[in-house]
């Protein structure tokens, strides 16, 4: 099992083709594919079920390029991608939930609910960027029509909001050091299992 987990982790980290990866483990290409399909879901992050009443979460969406047109659509990066809603704990900076992938042309305010991320966190306080307007999440203040500038207290609140929300961007940067999230060749649920597995490995690495 240790070797199988290592094979899956090596595949996600390097994004080598199965033809390149299999000889490194002394197995066939088809055997490597079966191991990834079977073991990948076992490594997946388990969504946290309960949160303390004072917990603050951060959500944002990230795009993962994938050629599987069954789950992807052309997005703002002009490639076929999937939209993944990732939720982290603002205090621990650990990933606590990942929504199911949606086509990359879905905006975040809709993907938040449709992916299941909203249901996963319940009534816990969640902060987000301006792409989540109308969702009830805590976002930065915006100027109203005809308003030239925000009051000083709102500007200060926005600076604090941006500083905290940047933590989810840092989590994305660490997760996307796993090259499969830059160009995922897996089909069907493969991209979802890869995102969940990398989220769990990210948490393990972050906590030492």
User: How would you write the pLDDT of the chain (208 residues) with one tens digit per residue?
Assistant: 999 999 999 999 999 999 999 999 999 999 999 999 999 999 999 988 889 999 999 999 999 999 988 899 998 776 899 999 999 999 999 999 999 999 999 999 999 999 999 999 999 999 999 999 999 999 988 877 777 788 888 889 989 999 999 999 999 999 999 999 999 999 989 999 999 999 999 999 988 7
Domain boundaries, the chain: 2-43, 56-206
* CA–CA distance, 203 with 98 (Å, rounded to integer): 13
Q: Which two tokens stand for residue 78?
A: 């002009």
Calculate the CA 107 to chain-centre distance: 15
Q: What is the pLDDT of residue 153?
A: 86
**Residue 64 CA: distances (Å) to CA of 67, 125, 181, 185:** 10, 26, 6, 10
* CA–CA distance, 113 with 45 (Å, rounded to integer): 19
Contact 191, 64 (CB under 8 A): yes
Instruction: Supply the pTM of this predicted model.
Output: 0.91
Q: Taking each helix axis as running N to C, give the angle between helix 29-43 and helix 2-14, from 0 to 180 degrees, rounded to the nearest 10.
A: 90
Q: What is the pLDDT of residue 48?
A: 87
Nearest to 99 by CA among 22, 191, 170, 177: 191
Residue 138, SS3 per DSSP? strand
* CA–CA distance, 13 with 24 (Å, rounded to integer): 14
Q: What is the pLDDT of residue 185?
A: 92
Contact 129, 140 (CB under 8 A): yes
The 3-class secondary structure across 85-131, one letter per residue, is: EEEEECCCCCEEEECCCEECCCCHHHHHHHCCHHHHHCCCEEECCHH
The 3-class secondary structure across 42-83, one letter per residue, is: HHCCCCCCCCCCCCEEEEEEEEEECCCCCCCEECCCCCEEEE
Other C-beta atoms closer than 10 Å to the C-beta of 125 total 14
Q: Domain 56-206: give its CATH code.
A: 3.30.420
């Amino acid at each position: 099992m240790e070797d199988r987990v290592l094979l899956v982790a090596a595949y996600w980290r390097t994004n080598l083709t199965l033809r390149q990866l299999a000889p490194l483990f002394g197995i066939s290409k088809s055997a490597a594919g079966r191991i990834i399909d079977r073991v990948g879901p076992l490594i997946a992050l388990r969504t946290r079920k309960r949160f303390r009443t004072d917990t603050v979460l951060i959500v944002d969406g990230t795009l993962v390029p994938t050629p599987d047109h069954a789950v992807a659509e052309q997005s703002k990066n002009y490639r076929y991608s999937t939209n993944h809603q990732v939720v982290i704990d603002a205090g621990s900076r650990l990933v606590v939930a990942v929504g199911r992938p949606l086509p990359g042309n879905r905006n975040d305010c809709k993907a938040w609910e449709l992916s299941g991320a909203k249901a996963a966190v319940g009534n816990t306080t969640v902060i987000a960027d301006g792409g989540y307007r109308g969702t009830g999440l805590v976002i930065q203040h915006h100027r109203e029509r005809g308003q030239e500038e925000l009051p000083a207290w709102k500007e200060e609140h926005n600076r604090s909001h941006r500083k905290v929300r940047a933590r989810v961007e840092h989590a994305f940067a660490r997760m996307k050091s796993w090259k499969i999230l830059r160009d995922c060749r897996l089909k069907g649920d493969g991209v979802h299992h890869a995102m969940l597995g990398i989220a769990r490995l990210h948490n393990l690495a972050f906590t030492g």
